[in-house]
Amino acid sequence: MPSLVNPEVEMAVKGFILDQEKMAEVVERMTKEMKMGLAKDTHPRAVIKCFVTYVQDLPTGKERGKYLALDLGGSNFRVLLVTLNSDSDVETISKSFEFPKSLMSGSGKALFDFLAECLSEFCIENGVQDETLPLGFTFSFPCQQQGLSKGILVAWTKGFSCEGVVGKNVVTLLQEAIDRRGDVKINTVAILNDTVGTLMSCAHSHKNCRIGLIVGTGSNACYVEKTVNAECFEGYQTSPKPSMIINCEWGAFGDNGVLEFVRTSYDKVVDRITPNPGRQTFEKCISGMYMGELVRLVVIEMINKDVMFHGDKSQKIQKAWSFNSSYISDIESDPPGEYRSCNKVLNELGIIGSQESDKESLKLICEAVSSRSAKLCACGLVTIINKMNINEVVIGIDGSVYRFHPKYHEMLQFHMRKLLKPGVKFELVVSEDGSGKGAALVAATAVQNKPKI
């Protein structure tokens, strides 16, 4: 059957297609960058920072008690009360709060005062305002940790740009805001990245979980490294604990130009219109915050060339960021030859009177962008597995792209198998509430493993 897709569209998406050779090259370059991030002498100039998290204890299943968790991950903000009763009995009460857009670019003080206000409201609602509860703070932005409860913000990502926070310990800023109110008793015992929470919550039920991955608004991964390889950790040679979770911060891979061979002209346009041009290169090729805009840019070019939608000048699609990444999942979930979800998306975008060839072209563009995302993620996971030199591993994954894209899980598995050495076994598992349960588990291990004085 002849293709319904216009050759111009096929040409436009060619740059998103990564063959086996290019993927192997990504793995090779990423391996080199990760080694630089781990080594003390090359760390300052490394783009994949491989930050030490100070989390050295994985859950044993013996963690007990009540813990608070605060999750600031970008597009969402939640407060949770997690009660660990037994290995299999974990009670969670959570509340999501509406996050005012203005706080993303206002003062740091206003941001942390808002977080403290929500925490207080939540504690009072749940009757725990008079208990002194340990808090695990999931803060999903690049932080250099100097201890389990000391995280210095390196740079804002995901559209945030609050002043007075970069270079500061965010735990101190949060604790000061809590203390300013003085109406609840909370002790922030740990700061963690959402990838660490993902790994911890998955490790609670899958003892062999050693990697945490997020593919949502942003993208990042963490893994369990031998402490002796974590050179940026003060006591790396003498630590009694054999393992250390490393927060890769892989979103910045390529900020030094080593990923130019997989980037397209559309990637460069997206990069220019973000608040952090030239930064988070790998993340901008992968994550949900950018995928929709990449698709939109290709579509606009095709509309302008009168190749798709007969030059339809729908006002909505002309607007930057108007093509939600969730549309990609919708469009790709249509069975071959059917366009129910696609029609719904076009309707929302104000595009009327499209032909079957337009819909097939749109689907091809979506597939090109999402499959490149999955391939690059597969490259990253393979790099980590090779680095760990293990033959069997469980990978805990969270994030809207992984959860809601109809083919992402299969694509990841397929490309990882092609790249990994024969005989290496892995399992991809959806991590249940990493930023909540995971944060509570980090807080629990922190409290329970504290040296007795």
Residue 74 has pLDDT above 70, yes or no: no
Tell me the pLDDT band of 117, cut-offs 50, 70 and 90.
Answer: very high
Residue 68 clears pLDDT 60, i.e. is over it: yes
The pLDDT value given to residue 100: 82
Asked whether the predicted pLDDT for residue 452 surpasses 60, the reply is no
pLDDT in tens, 343-368: 999 999 999 888 999 999 999 999 99
Could you tell me what percent of the chain has a pLDDT over 90?
75
- pLDDT, average across residues 266-270: 98
Q: How confident is the model at residue 3, as a pLDDT?
A: 76
Pairing of β 425-430 and β 392-398:
parallel
Among 71, 113, 194, 271, the active-site one is 194
pLDDT at 101: 84
In this prediction the pTM is 0.91
What is the model's pLDDT at position 235? 85
Q: Is 101 noted as a catalytic residue in this protein? A: no
For residue 8, pLDDT beyond 90: yes
Predicted pLDDT at 135: 94
Question: Given the DSSP bridges, would you call strands 65-72 and 77-84 parallel, antiparallel or unpaired?
Answer: antiparallel
In this prediction, residue 141 has a pLDDT band, given cuts at 50, 70 and 90, of confident
At residue 453, the pLDDT reads: 38
Q: Summarize pLDDT for 170-202 with one digit per residue, the tens.
A: 999 999 999 999 898 898 999 998 899 999 999
pLDDT-derived band at 98, boundaries 50, 70, 90 = confident
| CATH for the 58-192 domain, from 2.40.30.330, 3.40.50.300, 3.30.420.40, 2.60.120.10 | 3.30.420.40
Extract the tokens encoding 414. 């397929």
Q: What is the CATH number of domain 1-53+205-432?
A: 3.40.367.20
Q: What is the pLDDT of residues 36-58, one digit of tens each?
A: 999 999 999 999 999 999 999 89
User: What pLDDT sits at residue 2?
Assistant: 56
Domain ranges of the chain: 1-53+205-432, 58-192
The pLDDT-based confidence of 450 (bands split at 50, 70, 90) is low
**How many Å apart are CA 407 and CA 375, to the nearest integer?**
12
The yes-or-no answer to whether 1-53+205-432 and 58-192 have a common fold is no
Task: Let me know the angle formed at the C-alpha of 150 by 153 and 227, rounded to the nearest 5 degrees.
Answer: 100
- Please give the pLDDT value at position 210: 97
Q: Is 414 helix (H, G, I), strand (E, B) or coil?
A: helix
**Confidence at residue 1, expressed as pLDDT on a 0 to 100 scale:** 47
What is the rounded (10 degree) CA torsion for 175, 177, 180, 182? Answer: -60
Strand partners, 222: 212, 247
What pLDDT digit, counting tens, does each position of 162-176 carry?
999 999 999 999 999
Q: Where are the alpha helices (DSSP H) in 308-355?
A: 315-318, 325-332, 340-348
**312: confidence class by pLDDT, cuts 50, 70, 90:** low
Q: How far apart are CA 94 and CA 260, in angstroms?
A: 42
Residue 388: its pLDDT value, please?
96
The catalytic position among 49, 158, 284, 437 is 158
Q: Residue 90's pLDDT is what?
A: 84
In single-letter form, the type of residue at position 284 comes to K
Q: Residue 269: how many CA atoms within 13 Å on its side-chain side?
A: 14
Confidence tier at 272 by pLDDT (50, 70, 90):
very high
pLDDT digits (tens, 9 = 90+) for 415-437: 999 999 999 999 999 998 777 88
pLDDT for 221: 97
- C-alpha 218/C-alpha 238 separation (Å) is 35
Please spell the DSSP secondary structure of 145-202, one letter per residue: EEETTEEEE----TT---BT-TTSBHHHHHHHHHHHH-SS-EEEEEEE-HHHHHHHHH
Tell me whether residue 433 is one of the annotated catalytic residues. no
